[in-house]
A and B are shown apart, each in its own frame.
Chain A
Amino acid sequence: MRLRKPLHGLLAMLLACLLAACEKPDPLQTTRILAMGTVIDITTWGVSPRDARAAFEDLQTLFQRWHQEWHAWLDSPLSRANQAFAEGREATLTPDLLTMLEHARAAAHASEGLFNPAIGRLIELWGFHADERPDGPPPSQAAIMELLRKQPSVDDIIVDGDRVRSTNPAVALDFGGLKGYAVDRAIDYLRAHGIQNAIVNAGGNLRAIGSKGGQPWRIGIRNPRGPGVLASIELSGDESVATSGDYERFFEWHGVRYHHILDPRSGFPSIGTTAVTVLAPTAELADIAGKPLMIAGPAKWLELAHRLGITQALRVDESGRVEITPALSARLKWEIEPAPPVEVTAAP
Protein backbone atom coordinates (compact mmCIF):
# COMPACT_ATOMS: atom_id res chain seq x y z
CA MET A 1 0.00 0.00 0.00
CA ARG A 2 3.00 2.28 0.04
CA LEU A 3 2.07 2.97 -3.55
CA ARG A 4 -0.78 5.23 -2.63
CA LYS A 5 1.22 8.09 -1.19
CA PRO A 6 3.37 8.85 -4.26
CA LEU A 7 0.23 8.50 -6.35
CA HIS A 8 -1.48 11.13 -4.23
CA GLY A 9 1.49 13.40 -4.69
CA LEU A 10 1.50 12.93 -8.43
CA LEU A 11 -2.20 13.65 -8.68
CA ALA A 12 -1.93 16.74 -6.52
CA MET A 13 0.88 17.98 -8.73
CA LEU A 14 -1.05 17.37 -11.95
CA LEU A 15 -4.18 19.03 -10.59
CA ALA A 16 -2.11 22.00 -9.44
CA CYS A 17 -0.70 22.38 -12.96
CA LEU A 18 -4.20 22.22 -14.41
CA LEU A 19 -5.48 24.86 -12.01
CA ALA A 20 -2.49 27.10 -12.66
CA ALA A 21 -3.21 26.92 -16.38
CA CYS A 22 -6.77 28.03 -15.73
CA GLU A 23 -5.86 31.04 -13.63
CA LYS A 24 -3.82 32.86 -16.28
CA PRO A 25 -5.91 35.52 -18.00
CA ASP A 26 -6.80 34.42 -21.48
CA PRO A 27 -4.74 36.43 -24.02
CA LEU A 28 -7.75 36.17 -26.32
CA GLN A 29 -10.55 38.55 -25.47
CA THR A 30 -13.79 38.48 -27.38
CA THR A 31 -17.00 40.39 -27.52
CA ARG A 32 -20.16 40.37 -29.57
CA ILE A 33 -22.05 43.44 -30.67
CA LEU A 34 -25.44 43.38 -32.35
CA ALA A 35 -25.52 46.36 -34.67
CA MET A 36 -26.05 47.25 -38.31
CA GLY A 37 -28.60 44.45 -38.50
CA THR A 38 -25.97 41.82 -37.96
CA VAL A 39 -23.69 40.12 -35.48
CA ILE A 40 -20.28 41.72 -34.97
CA ASP A 41 -17.63 39.61 -33.25
CA ILE A 42 -14.40 41.24 -32.12
CA THR A 43 -11.36 39.32 -30.95
CA THR A 44 -8.14 40.75 -29.58
CA TRP A 45 -4.92 39.00 -28.65
CA GLY A 46 -2.43 40.04 -26.01
CA VAL A 47 -4.61 42.85 -24.69
CA SER A 48 -5.47 42.93 -21.00
CA PRO A 49 -9.13 42.16 -20.25
CA ARG A 50 -9.60 45.71 -18.97
CA ASP A 51 -8.14 47.43 -22.04
CA ALA A 52 -10.03 45.08 -24.32
CA ARG A 53 -13.30 45.84 -22.58
CA ALA A 54 -12.70 49.57 -22.92
CA ALA A 55 -12.02 49.18 -26.66
CA PHE A 56 -15.09 46.96 -27.08
CA GLU A 57 -17.30 49.55 -25.42
CA ASP A 58 -15.97 52.31 -27.69
CA LEU A 59 -16.52 50.12 -30.74
CA GLN A 60 -20.05 49.33 -29.63
CA THR A 61 -20.75 53.08 -29.58
CA LEU A 62 -19.06 53.54 -32.96
CA PHE A 63 -20.98 50.71 -34.65
CA GLN A 64 -24.24 52.10 -33.34
CA ARG A 65 -23.33 55.55 -34.62
CA TRP A 66 -22.43 54.13 -38.03
CA HIS A 67 -25.68 52.17 -38.03
CA GLN A 68 -27.56 55.45 -37.55
CA GLU A 69 -25.49 57.38 -40.09
CA TRP A 70 -25.40 54.82 -42.85
CA HIS A 71 -28.77 53.12 -42.61
CA ALA A 72 -30.43 53.11 -46.01
CA TRP A 73 -33.98 52.87 -44.64
CA LEU A 74 -34.24 54.33 -41.15
CA ASP A 75 -33.80 58.09 -40.81
CA SER A 76 -30.15 58.79 -41.64
CA PRO A 77 -28.06 60.96 -43.97
CA LEU A 78 -28.18 58.07 -46.46
CA SER A 79 -31.94 57.52 -46.30
CA ARG A 80 -32.47 61.31 -46.56
CA ALA A 81 -30.29 61.29 -49.68
CA ASN A 82 -32.36 58.41 -51.13
CA GLN A 83 -35.51 60.39 -50.39
CA ALA A 84 -33.96 63.45 -52.10
CA PHE A 85 -33.04 61.36 -55.17
CA ALA A 86 -36.69 60.28 -55.52
CA GLU A 87 -37.84 63.89 -55.29
CA GLY A 88 -35.11 65.34 -57.51
CA ARG A 89 -33.63 67.35 -54.65
CA GLU A 90 -30.06 67.77 -53.48
CA ALA A 91 -28.76 66.15 -50.30
CA THR A 92 -25.59 66.14 -48.22
CA LEU A 93 -23.54 63.00 -47.58
CA THR A 94 -21.01 62.48 -44.80
CA PRO A 95 -17.34 61.94 -45.77
CA ASP A 96 -17.70 58.19 -45.02
CA LEU A 97 -20.73 57.88 -47.28
CA LEU A 98 -18.96 59.83 -50.04
CA THR A 99 -15.99 57.45 -49.81
CA MET A 100 -18.29 54.45 -50.00
CA LEU A 101 -20.05 55.99 -52.97
CA GLU A 102 -16.74 56.40 -54.81
CA HIS A 103 -15.68 52.81 -54.07
CA ALA A 104 -19.08 51.50 -55.09
CA ARG A 105 -18.95 53.47 -58.31
CA ALA A 106 -15.56 51.97 -59.17
CA ALA A 107 -16.82 48.44 -58.46
CA ALA A 108 -19.97 49.05 -60.51
CA HIS A 109 -17.82 50.07 -63.47
CA ALA A 110 -15.39 47.16 -63.06
CA SER A 111 -18.28 44.67 -62.86
CA GLU A 112 -20.18 46.21 -65.78
CA GLY A 113 -23.24 46.72 -63.59
CA LEU A 114 -23.34 43.30 -61.91
CA PHE A 115 -22.54 45.17 -58.74
CA ASN A 116 -25.20 47.82 -58.59
CA PRO A 117 -25.49 49.86 -55.38
CA ALA A 118 -28.31 51.94 -56.89
CA ILE A 119 -30.99 49.21 -56.77
CA GLY A 120 -32.14 50.04 -53.25
CA ARG A 121 -35.76 50.19 -54.45
CA LEU A 122 -35.52 46.63 -55.78
CA ILE A 123 -34.16 45.39 -52.44
CA GLU A 124 -36.98 47.23 -50.69
CA LEU A 125 -39.52 45.69 -53.08
CA TRP A 126 -38.28 42.22 -52.15
CA GLY A 127 -38.32 43.10 -48.46
CA PHE A 128 -34.65 42.28 -47.90
CA HIS A 129 -34.03 45.65 -46.28
CA ALA A 130 -35.64 44.39 -43.07
CA ASP A 131 -33.55 42.59 -40.43
CA GLU A 132 -35.65 39.47 -40.75
CA ARG A 133 -37.95 39.13 -43.73
CA PRO A 134 -40.91 36.90 -42.91
CA ASP A 135 -41.96 34.16 -45.33
CA GLY A 136 -44.45 35.58 -47.78
CA PRO A 137 -45.07 35.95 -51.49
CA PRO A 138 -42.29 37.41 -53.64
CA PRO A 139 -43.04 40.67 -55.50
CA SER A 140 -44.86 40.44 -58.80
CA GLN A 141 -42.94 40.13 -62.04
CA ALA A 142 -44.63 43.34 -63.23
CA ALA A 143 -43.46 45.36 -60.23
CA ILE A 144 -39.89 44.09 -60.69
CA MET A 145 -39.93 44.86 -64.40
CA GLU A 146 -41.24 48.35 -63.81
CA LEU A 147 -38.30 49.09 -61.48
CA LEU A 148 -35.73 47.55 -63.83
CA ARG A 149 -37.04 49.60 -66.77
CA LYS A 150 -36.03 52.73 -64.92
CA GLN A 151 -32.39 51.47 -64.96
CA PRO A 152 -31.14 52.93 -61.71
CA SER A 153 -27.36 53.34 -61.81
CA VAL A 154 -24.65 55.02 -59.69
CA ASP A 155 -23.77 57.01 -62.81
CA ASP A 156 -27.07 58.84 -62.38
CA ILE A 157 -25.66 60.40 -59.21
CA ILE A 158 -23.88 63.71 -59.55
CA VAL A 159 -21.45 64.60 -56.77
CA ASP A 160 -20.46 68.18 -56.06
CA GLY A 161 -18.29 68.40 -52.95
CA ASP A 162 -20.44 66.83 -50.26
CA ARG A 163 -23.66 67.56 -52.19
CA VAL A 164 -25.29 64.82 -54.20
CA ARG A 165 -28.31 64.59 -56.49
CA SER A 166 -29.64 62.06 -58.95
CA THR A 167 -30.87 62.53 -62.47
CA ASN A 168 -32.93 59.34 -62.04
CA PRO A 169 -35.62 59.29 -59.33
CA ALA A 170 -35.53 55.46 -59.20
CA VAL A 171 -32.02 55.51 -57.71
CA ALA A 172 -31.72 54.48 -54.08
CA LEU A 173 -28.33 53.67 -52.62
CA ASP A 174 -27.86 50.46 -50.68
CA PHE A 175 -24.14 49.89 -50.41
CA GLY A 176 -23.07 46.29 -50.69
CA GLY A 177 -19.82 46.98 -48.87
CA LEU A 178 -21.27 48.75 -45.85
CA LYS A 179 -20.37 46.05 -43.32
CA GLY A 180 -16.91 45.70 -44.80
CA TYR A 181 -16.36 49.44 -44.61
CA ALA A 182 -17.41 49.42 -40.96
CA VAL A 183 -14.96 46.57 -40.30
CA ASP A 184 -12.14 48.58 -41.85
CA ARG A 185 -13.03 51.60 -39.74
CA ALA A 186 -13.14 49.45 -36.59
CA ILE A 187 -9.68 48.06 -37.42
CA ASP A 188 -8.45 51.66 -37.86
CA TYR A 189 -9.83 52.45 -34.42
CA LEU A 190 -8.12 49.45 -32.79
CA ARG A 191 -4.78 50.29 -34.40
CA ALA A 192 -5.04 53.92 -33.31
CA HIS A 193 -5.48 52.64 -29.76
CA GLY A 194 -2.40 50.44 -29.88
CA ILE A 195 -4.16 47.13 -30.54
CA GLN A 196 -2.16 45.40 -33.26
CA ASN A 197 -3.56 41.85 -33.05
CA ALA A 198 -7.28 41.59 -33.66
CA ILE A 199 -10.14 40.30 -35.77
CA VAL A 200 -13.28 42.25 -36.50
CA ASN A 201 -16.03 40.14 -38.05
CA ALA A 202 -19.28 41.81 -39.09
CA GLY A 203 -21.82 39.33 -40.36
CA GLY A 204 -19.14 37.01 -41.73
CA ASN A 205 -17.08 39.76 -43.36
CA LEU A 206 -13.88 39.91 -41.42
CA ARG A 207 -10.49 41.51 -41.29
CA ALA A 208 -7.63 40.06 -39.28
CA ILE A 209 -4.54 42.03 -38.30
CA GLY A 210 -1.37 40.85 -36.58
CA SER A 211 -1.39 37.35 -35.13
CA LYS A 212 -1.89 35.32 -31.98
CA GLY A 213 1.56 35.71 -30.48
CA GLY A 214 3.25 34.72 -33.72
CA GLN A 215 0.63 32.07 -34.56
CA PRO A 216 -1.57 32.98 -37.51
CA TRP A 217 -5.29 33.50 -37.01
CA ARG A 218 -7.34 30.47 -38.00
CA ILE A 219 -10.39 31.41 -40.02
CA GLY A 220 -13.20 29.04 -40.95
CA ILE A 221 -15.25 29.38 -44.10
CA ARG A 222 -18.82 28.33 -43.52
CA ASN A 223 -20.17 25.28 -45.29
CA PRO A 224 -22.95 26.71 -47.50
CA ARG A 225 -24.84 23.43 -47.35
CA GLY A 226 -24.99 21.87 -43.95
CA PRO A 227 -23.61 22.81 -40.59
CA GLY A 228 -20.08 23.77 -39.69
CA VAL A 229 -17.10 24.81 -41.67
CA LEU A 230 -16.18 23.94 -45.26
CA ALA A 231 -12.53 24.94 -45.19
CA SER A 232 -10.07 26.91 -43.15
CA ILE A 233 -7.35 29.38 -43.87
CA GLU A 234 -4.63 31.00 -41.83
CA LEU A 235 -4.36 34.78 -41.87
CA SER A 236 -1.62 36.99 -40.53
CA GLY A 237 -0.44 40.51 -41.10
CA ASP A 238 -3.50 42.19 -42.52
CA GLU A 239 -6.02 40.37 -44.67
CA SER A 240 -9.76 40.30 -45.12
CA VAL A 241 -12.18 37.50 -45.94
CA ALA A 242 -15.80 37.83 -46.91
CA THR A 243 -18.34 35.25 -48.00
CA SER A 244 -21.57 35.84 -49.84
CA GLY A 245 -24.07 33.02 -49.78
CA ASP A 246 -27.65 32.27 -50.64
CA TYR A 247 -28.19 31.03 -47.05
CA GLU A 248 -27.54 34.36 -45.33
CA ARG A 249 -30.93 35.95 -45.84
CA PHE A 250 -33.78 34.27 -47.58
CA PHE A 251 -37.46 33.48 -47.34
CA GLU A 252 -39.52 30.61 -48.61
CA TRP A 253 -42.80 30.71 -50.43
CA HIS A 254 -44.62 27.67 -51.82
CA GLY A 255 -41.49 25.58 -51.48
CA VAL A 256 -39.26 28.00 -53.38
CA ARG A 257 -36.37 29.65 -51.65
CA TYR A 258 -35.66 33.30 -52.48
CA HIS A 259 -32.32 34.63 -51.25
CA HIS A 260 -31.18 38.22 -50.85
CA ILE A 261 -28.53 38.51 -53.59
CA LEU A 262 -30.49 40.06 -56.42
CA ASP A 263 -29.26 39.98 -60.00
CA PRO A 264 -29.68 43.58 -61.24
CA ARG A 265 -30.29 42.25 -64.77
CA SER A 266 -33.25 40.00 -63.94
CA GLY A 267 -34.41 41.58 -60.70
CA PHE A 268 -34.55 38.07 -59.19
CA PRO A 269 -32.20 36.23 -56.82
CA SER A 270 -29.06 35.08 -58.60
CA ILE A 271 -28.87 31.46 -59.70
CA GLY A 272 -26.13 28.88 -60.22
CA THR A 273 -23.90 29.79 -57.28
CA THR A 274 -24.39 28.87 -53.63
CA ALA A 275 -21.55 30.87 -52.12
CA VAL A 276 -18.47 32.87 -52.99
CA THR A 277 -15.56 33.54 -50.63
CA VAL A 278 -13.12 36.32 -51.38
CA LEU A 279 -9.78 37.33 -49.85
CA ALA A 280 -8.84 40.97 -50.25
CA PRO A 281 -6.63 43.63 -48.67
CA THR A 282 -9.62 45.41 -47.14
CA ALA A 283 -12.89 44.13 -45.74
CA GLU A 284 -14.77 46.61 -47.89
CA LEU A 285 -13.36 45.24 -51.13
CA ALA A 286 -13.92 41.63 -50.00
CA ASP A 287 -17.50 42.51 -49.05
CA ILE A 288 -18.21 44.37 -52.31
CA ALA A 289 -16.72 41.64 -54.53
CA GLY A 290 -18.78 38.73 -53.15
CA LYS A 291 -22.17 39.65 -54.56
CA PRO A 292 -21.22 40.38 -58.19
CA LEU A 293 -19.08 37.23 -58.25
CA MET A 294 -22.10 35.21 -57.18
CA ILE A 295 -24.23 36.91 -59.81
CA ALA A 296 -21.57 36.45 -62.52
CA GLY A 297 -21.85 32.67 -62.22
CA PRO A 298 -19.60 29.91 -63.60
CA ALA A 299 -18.82 31.49 -66.96
CA LYS A 300 -17.79 34.95 -65.86
CA TRP A 301 -16.77 34.95 -62.21
CA LEU A 302 -13.03 34.44 -62.67
CA GLU A 303 -12.77 37.17 -65.25
CA LEU A 304 -14.72 39.53 -63.00
CA ALA A 305 -12.53 38.66 -60.00
CA HIS A 306 -9.50 39.53 -62.10
CA ARG A 307 -11.00 42.89 -63.06
CA LEU A 308 -11.80 43.64 -59.39
CA GLY A 309 -8.19 42.88 -58.48
CA ILE A 310 -9.12 39.68 -56.61
CA THR A 311 -6.63 36.82 -56.94
CA GLN A 312 -7.85 34.63 -54.10
CA ALA A 313 -11.43 33.43 -54.28
CA LEU A 314 -13.56 30.33 -54.33
CA ARG A 315 -17.01 29.61 -55.68
CA VAL A 316 -19.36 26.81 -54.59
CA ASP A 317 -21.97 25.80 -57.15
CA GLU A 318 -25.41 24.34 -56.49
CA SER A 319 -24.11 20.76 -56.58
CA GLY A 320 -21.45 21.50 -53.96
CA ARG A 321 -18.59 21.50 -56.47
CA VAL A 322 -15.89 24.07 -55.73
CA GLU A 323 -13.96 26.24 -58.15
CA ILE A 324 -10.93 27.91 -56.60
CA THR A 325 -8.11 30.16 -57.78
CA PRO A 326 -4.57 28.71 -57.56
CA ALA A 327 -3.45 31.37 -55.06
CA LEU A 328 -6.23 30.48 -52.62
CA SER A 329 -5.99 26.74 -53.27
CA ALA A 330 -2.35 26.79 -52.14
CA ARG A 331 -3.26 27.91 -48.61
CA LEU A 332 -6.72 26.49 -48.01
CA LYS A 333 -7.42 23.44 -45.88
CA TRP A 334 -10.63 21.44 -46.34
CA GLU A 335 -12.49 20.82 -43.12
CA ILE A 336 -15.19 18.45 -44.33
CA GLU A 337 -14.83 14.72 -44.96
CA PRO A 338 -14.71 13.87 -47.77
CA ALA A 339 -13.34 17.05 -49.32
CA PRO A 340 -15.68 18.44 -51.99
CA PRO A 341 -14.91 18.02 -55.69
CA VAL A 342 -12.55 20.85 -56.49
CA GLU A 343 -11.36 22.47 -59.69
CA VAL A 344 -8.42 24.85 -59.49
CA THR A 345 -8.84 27.48 -62.18
CA ALA A 346 -7.00 30.64 -63.06
CA ALA A 347 -8.55 33.70 -64.65
CA PRO A 348 -8.33 33.50 -68.46
Chain B
Amino acid sequence: MTTADRCLIALSFAALVPLYVQLWGRDTQPQEARVTVDGQEVLRVSLFENHRYDVKGPAGVTVVEVADGRVRCVSSPGPRHLCERAGWLSASGDSAVNLPNRVSIEVLGRDRRFDSVSY
Protein backbone atom coordinates (compact mmCIF):
# COMPACT_ATOMS: atom_id res chain seq x y z
CA MET B 1 0.00 0.00 0.00
CA THR B 2 1.51 3.33 -1.01
CA THR B 3 1.26 6.63 0.87
CA ALA B 4 -1.12 7.89 -1.79
CA ASP B 5 -3.31 4.82 -1.17
CA ARG B 6 -3.47 5.54 2.53
CA CYS B 7 -4.33 9.18 1.93
CA LEU B 8 -7.02 8.13 -0.51
CA ILE B 9 -8.56 5.66 1.95
CA ALA B 10 -8.72 8.34 4.63
CA LEU B 11 -10.13 10.84 2.16
CA SER B 12 -12.76 8.39 0.87
CA PHE B 13 -14.09 7.66 4.33
CA ALA B 14 -13.92 11.32 5.33
CA ALA B 15 -15.92 12.28 2.23
CA LEU B 16 -18.72 9.94 3.30
CA VAL B 17 -19.38 12.01 6.42
CA PRO B 18 -20.63 15.17 4.70
CA LEU B 19 -22.60 12.96 2.32
CA TYR B 20 -24.53 11.42 5.22
CA VAL B 21 -24.91 14.77 6.95
CA GLN B 22 -26.17 16.41 3.79
CA LEU B 23 -28.61 13.72 2.72
CA TRP B 24 -29.61 12.09 5.99
CA GLY B 25 -29.02 14.73 8.62
CA ARG B 26 -31.48 16.99 6.92
CA ASP B 27 -34.90 16.00 5.87
CA THR B 28 -34.79 13.69 2.92
CA GLN B 29 -38.01 14.23 1.08
CA PRO B 30 -41.51 15.18 2.12
CA GLN B 31 -43.59 12.03 2.36
CA GLU B 32 -47.02 13.21 3.35
CA ALA B 33 -49.59 15.88 2.80
CA ARG B 34 -52.25 16.97 5.24
CA VAL B 35 -55.65 18.28 4.22
CA THR B 36 -57.76 20.07 6.78
CA VAL B 37 -61.28 21.46 6.71
CA ASP B 38 -61.90 24.17 9.28
CA GLY B 39 -58.79 23.14 11.17
CA GLN B 40 -59.85 19.50 11.41
CA GLU B 41 -57.61 17.01 9.67
CA VAL B 42 -59.71 15.11 7.15
CA LEU B 43 -56.99 13.53 5.07
CA ARG B 44 -53.37 12.54 5.51
CA VAL B 45 -52.00 11.01 2.35
CA SER B 46 -48.72 9.66 1.06
CA LEU B 47 -47.35 11.79 -1.75
CA PHE B 48 -46.37 8.64 -3.60
CA GLU B 49 -49.81 7.13 -4.00
CA ASN B 50 -51.27 8.84 -7.01
CA HIS B 51 -54.92 9.50 -6.41
CA ARG B 52 -57.65 12.12 -6.53
CA TYR B 53 -59.65 12.98 -3.46
CA ASP B 54 -62.92 14.85 -3.12
CA VAL B 55 -62.78 16.97 0.03
CA LYS B 56 -66.16 18.24 1.18
CA GLY B 57 -66.30 21.63 2.81
CA PRO B 58 -69.03 24.12 3.69
CA ALA B 59 -68.98 25.67 0.20
CA GLY B 60 -68.78 22.49 -1.86
CA VAL B 61 -66.14 20.04 -2.99
CA THR B 62 -62.42 20.73 -3.32
CA VAL B 63 -60.69 18.21 -5.56
CA VAL B 64 -57.17 17.37 -4.36
CA GLU B 65 -54.79 15.45 -6.59
CA VAL B 66 -51.66 13.58 -5.51
CA ALA B 67 -49.19 12.59 -8.22
CA ASP B 68 -45.51 11.68 -8.20
CA GLY B 69 -44.57 13.19 -4.86
CA ARG B 70 -46.63 16.33 -5.35
CA VAL B 71 -50.07 17.52 -4.42
CA ARG B 72 -52.34 20.19 -5.82
CA CYS B 73 -55.78 21.67 -5.76
CA VAL B 74 -57.57 20.70 -8.98
CA SER B 75 -60.79 22.58 -8.43
CA SER B 76 -62.48 24.35 -5.58
CA PRO B 77 -65.40 26.65 -4.99
CA GLY B 78 -64.93 30.41 -4.69
CA PRO B 79 -64.52 33.31 -7.07
CA ARG B 80 -60.74 33.64 -7.33
CA HIS B 81 -59.41 30.07 -7.39
CA LEU B 82 -56.35 31.00 -5.36
CA CYS B 83 -56.04 27.37 -4.28
CA GLU B 84 -55.67 26.16 -7.86
CA ARG B 85 -53.30 29.00 -8.70
CA ALA B 86 -50.88 27.79 -6.04
CA GLY B 87 -50.08 24.93 -8.43
CA TRP B 88 -48.20 21.78 -7.47
CA LEU B 89 -46.88 21.64 -3.92
CA SER B 90 -43.84 19.49 -3.28
CA ALA B 91 -41.51 21.03 -0.67
CA SER B 92 -41.99 20.74 3.08
CA GLY B 93 -44.14 23.61 4.24
CA ASP B 94 -45.68 24.33 0.82
CA SER B 95 -49.38 24.94 1.12
CA ALA B 96 -52.52 26.05 -0.65
CA VAL B 97 -55.71 27.30 0.89
CA ASN B 98 -59.28 27.64 -0.29
CA LEU B 99 -60.87 30.06 2.15
CA PRO B 100 -64.50 29.83 0.98
CA ASN B 101 -64.44 26.06 1.45
CA ARG B 102 -62.23 26.24 4.58
CA VAL B 103 -59.83 23.74 2.99
CA SER B 104 -56.09 23.79 3.55
CA ILE B 105 -53.53 21.53 1.87
CA GLU B 106 -50.05 21.33 3.37
CA VAL B 107 -46.96 19.30 2.55
CA LEU B 108 -45.59 17.90 5.79
CA GLY B 109 -41.92 17.38 6.47
CA ARG B 110 -39.50 17.44 9.31
CA ASP B 111 -37.12 19.85 7.78
CA ARG B 112 -38.81 22.97 6.57
CA ARG B 113 -36.44 25.53 5.17
CA PHE B 114 -38.25 28.18 7.14
CA ASP B 115 -40.15 27.89 10.37
CA SER B 116 -42.58 30.51 9.18
CA VAL B 117 -42.96 32.95 6.30
CA SER B 118 -43.98 36.58 6.44
CA TYR B 119 -46.09 37.50 3.41
Residues of A within 8 A of B (CB): 18, 26, 28, 31-34, 37-39, 41, 43, 60, 131-135, 199, 201, 203-206, 208, 212, 217-222, 229, 232, 241-243, 245, 248, 251, 277
Residue B71 CB within 8 A of the other chain: no
Q: Which residues of A contact B95 (CB under 8 A)?
A: 32, 39
Q: Which listed residue (B79, B102, B115, B119) contacts A134, Cβ 8 A? A: B79
Q: Which residues of A contact B36 (CB under 8 A)?
A: 32
CA distance A26 to B110 in the complex (A): 7
Q: Which listed residue (B38, B106, B118) contacts A241, Cβ 8 A? A: B118
Q: Contacts A32-B95, A32-B104, A32-B106; is A205 near B118 (CB within 8 Å)?
A: yes
Contact A199 B115 (CB under 8 A): yes
Q: Which residues of A contact B99 (CB under 8 A)?
A: 34, 37-39, 131-132
Contact A39 B79 (CB under 8 A): no
Contact B102 A34 (CB under 8 A): yes
Q: Contacts A18-B24, A201-B116; is A34 near B104 (CB within 8 Å)?
A: yes
CB distance from A203 to the nearest CB of B (A): 8
CB distance from A141 to the nearest CB of B (A): 25
Residue B113 CB within 8 A of the other chain: yes
Q: Which residues of B contact A208 (CB under 8 A)?
A: 115-116
Contact B38 A132 (CB under 8 A): no
CB distance from A126 to the nearest CB of B (A): 15
Q: Which residues of B contact A241 (CB under 8 A)?
A: 118
CA distance A58 to B24 in the complex (A): 36
Name the 3 nearest CB pairs between A and B, nearest first.
A204-B119, A222-B119, A134-B79
Given contacts A28-B110, A251-B80, 12 further A-B contacts (CB under 8 A): A18-B24, A32-B104, A34-B97, A38-B99, A133-B79, A199-B115, A199-B116, A204-B118, A204-B119, A208-B116, A221-B117, A229-B117
Residue B114 CB within 8 A of the other chain: yes
Contact A60 B104 (CB under 8 A): no
Q: Contacts A39-B104, A132-B80; is A220 near B118 (CB within 8 Å)?
A: yes
CB distance from A222 to the nearest CB of B (A): 4
Residue B60 CB within 8 A of the other chain: no
Residues of B within 8 A of A (CB): 24, 36, 38-39, 78-80, 82, 95, 97, 99-100, 102, 104, 106, 110, 113-119
CB distance from B43 to the nearest CB of A (A): 13
Main secondary structure of the interface of A (DSSP, over half): strand
Q: Contacts A205-B118, A243-B119, A277-B118; is A218 near B106 (CB within 8 Å)?
A: no
Q: Which residues of A contact B79 (CB under 8 A)?
A: 132-135
Contact A43 B119 (CB under 8 A): no
Q: Which residues of A contact B110 (CB under 8 A)?
A: 26, 28
Q: Which listed residue (B38, B113, B116) contacts A41, Cβ 8 A? A: B116
**Residue in B closest to A34 when the chains form the complex, CB atoms:** B102
Contact B119 A34 (CB under 8 A): no
Q: Which residues of B contact A38 (CB under 8 A)?
A: 99
CA distance A243 to B79 in the complex (A): 25
CB distance from A143 to the nearest CB of B (A): 22
CA distance A133 to B115 in the complex (A): 30
CB distance from A49 to the nearest CB of B (A): 13
**Residue in A closest to B38 when the chains form the complex, CB atoms:** A34
Q: Which residues of B contact A277 (CB under 8 A)?
A: 118
CB distance from B103 to the nearest CB of A (A): 8
Q: Which listed residue (A43, A60, A251) contacts B116, Cβ 8 A? A: A43
Q: Which residues of B contact A205 (CB under 8 A)?
A: 118
